[in-house]
Amino acid sequence: MSVTILGIESSCDDTSAAVIRDGVMLSNIIAGQKVHEAYGGVVPELASRAHQQNIVPVVAEAIRQAGIDKTELDAIAFTRGPGLMGSLLVGTSFTKGFAASLNIPMVEVNHLQAHVLAHFIKETPEDTGQPAFPFLCLLVSGGNSQIILVKSQDEMEVIGQTIDDAAGEAFDKCAKVMGLGYPGGPVVNRLANEGNAEAFTFSKPHIPGYDYSFSGLKTSFLYTLRDHLKENPGFIEQNRADLCASLQATVVDILMNKLRKASKDLGIKEVAVAGGVSANTGLRDAFVDHARRYGWKIHIPEFAFTTDNAAMVAMSGYFRYLKGEFTGMDVVPFSRVVI
């Protein structure tokens, strides 16, 4: 019997809906929100309003592109959290109404687990190469930097995480002081491709275990700018590419050092990366390099699955649906949670 799941994602500033049938993606529609660019960050109230405007057309388009009728849906999976409360409420409330009208079950999904499970999405029925358990997943985004030990689809243990800023935050904050706009991560990445990664040295944290810290790097980056700007007001403009290349290399190095340690200690060579920062080409190259040097079997997501998307929510919902894990109408979103 085939199972068709509609996924709904509205945890931050992307409204997304996707249809997955038996693990194969039929559609994945994402509406971003340009309204935040002028503010240099996501404005929660504006995000909720944009979700409210986007959700009906985005879901309609996902169903249309999947080539199905809504009556063919078996369940609706939605992001319950973590995320912005007002944003989550839009997806959760929409799901309640739509599921009730179709008389089908709802399945709640943890956004962070969904990023990890994006690696199981099949784009065609023949798609193979999904990770084998147990594997390590580096989850790096604007709000998280974690090393997750994935034992099964629903058994995940966070073995390391940032004690202050996330990796995406480090990119964004350093980009902001260089006047590169928001979100700065992709711009830093683009400029880094033209720069010398050894031009500048920034401090790296020394903390035990598998935890991360990026606040020291941010301060070291700021001090470098401050010191050079005293001598040369045009320092940033003249060294933008080198600054970006050196920053990116330092972030990637910090991320990979702990991941390498975890892989060695636990004897796990199946290693994945997920989240917005997994779009970074320096990080992707480092994964390929580690595969060659250490015999890792690596899993790097398609660019479409690096940012928030509903295909990963539908995929996670599909696994829960198969286990009969449904959610009641009294569900409320949660803004914070560990995996």
Site residues, ligand KG4 (CB under 6 A): 12, 141-143, 168, 171-172, 183-186, 189, 275-277, 279-280, 307-308
Q: Per-residue DSSP letters for 207-233?
A: -STT-B--HHHHHHHHHHHHHHHHH-T
- Closer residue to ligand KG4 in complex, CB, 96/119: 119
- Closer residue to ligand KG4 in complex, CB, 182/326: 182
CB contact at 8 A, 316 and 117? yes
* Shortest distance, position 231 Cβ to ligand KG4, whole Å: 29
Taking the C-alpha atoms of residue 287 and residue 281, their distance in angstroms, rounded to an integer, is 10
* Shortest distance, position 188 Cβ to ligand KG4, whole Å: 6
Provide the 3-class DSSP secondary structure of residue 81: strand
Q: Which residues lie across from 273 on neighbouring strands? A: 138
- Closer residue to ligand KG4 in complex, CB, 104/286: 286
Q: Which token pair is 225?
A: 């700018």
Burial tier of 266 (Cβ tally within 10 Å: 0-12, 13-18, 19+): middle
* Shortest distance, position 11 Cβ to ligand KG4, whole Å: 9
Q: Which residue sits closest to ligand KG4, CB atoms considered?
A: 276
* Shortest distance, position 172 Cβ to ligand KG4, whole Å: 5
* Shortest distance, position 189 Cβ to ligand KG4, whole Å: 4
Q: Which token pair is 271?
A: 């290693």
- Closer residue to ligand KG4 in complex, CB, 16/327: 16
C-alpha to C-alpha distances, 70 to 101, 125, 283, 322, 328, nearest whole angstrom: 11, 22, 40, 20, 21
* DSSP H helix total and E strand total for the chain: 9, 10
Nearest to 243 by CA among 174, 166, 167, 173: 174
- Closer residue to ligand KG4 in complex, CB, 91/105: 91
* Shortest distance, position 58 Cβ to ligand KG4, whole Å: 17
Taking the C-alpha atoms of residue 12 and residue 166, their distance in angstroms, rounded to an integer, is 16
Taking the C-alpha atoms of residue 170 and residue 125, their distance in angstroms, rounded to an integer, is 38
Q: Which token pair is 322?
A: 């198969």
* Shortest distance, position 62 Cβ to ligand KG4, whole Å: 19
* Shortest distance, position 143 Cβ to ligand KG4, whole Å: 4
Taking the C-alpha atoms of residue 322 and residue 220, their distance in angstroms, rounded to an integer, is 49
Provide the 3-class DSSP secondary structure of residue 111: helix
- Closer residue to ligand KG4 in complex, CB, 279/315: 279
- Closer residue to ligand KG4 in complex, CB, 86/275: 275
- Closer residue to ligand KG4 in complex, CB, 171/212: 171
Taking the C-alpha atoms of residue 117 and residue 333, their distance in angstroms, rounded to an integer, is 20
* Shortest distance, position 2 Cβ to ligand KG4, whole Å: 30
- Closer residue to ligand KG4 in complex, CB, 73/243: 243
The owner of tokens 């709000």 is: 143
